[in-house]
Amino acid sequence: MNIGTIQAYAYFFFVAFLVIVLYSYIYHLYSSQRKGKRDYEKYSNIALNDDITDQPVEDISKND
C-alpha cells in the first residue's frame, strides 16, 4: 500500500463519517420536533424578527 491508497481510504471513510453525522443530526431535528420538545422552525425567523419590540421565540421559564 502506498500513500495514495491510504489517502483514498481515509477520504472515503471521512466522507462516510460526515454523511452519518449529517443524517443523524437531521433525524434529531425532526424527531425532537415531532415529539414536541422544540420547534426548530420558529428559530429560522430570528434573523427576520430581531427588533426589540418583536415577540421572543420562547419564553424564559424560572423553573429550569
Q: Is this model's pTM higher than 0.85 or not? A: no
Mean pLDDT across 7-14? 98
pLDDT at 64 exceeding the cut of 70: no
User: 33: pLDDT confidence band, cut at 50, 70 and 90?
Assistant: confident
Nearest C-alpha neighbor of 33 from the set 44, 23, 41 = 41
User: 7: pLDDT confidence band, cut at 50, 70 and 90?
Assistant: very high
Cβ partners under 8 Å of residue 39, min gap 6: 33
Listed by start position, the domains of the chain span 3-37
- For residues 46 and 57, the answer to whether their CB atoms sit within 8 Å is yes
Q: Which three cell numbers stand for residue 56?
A: 421572543
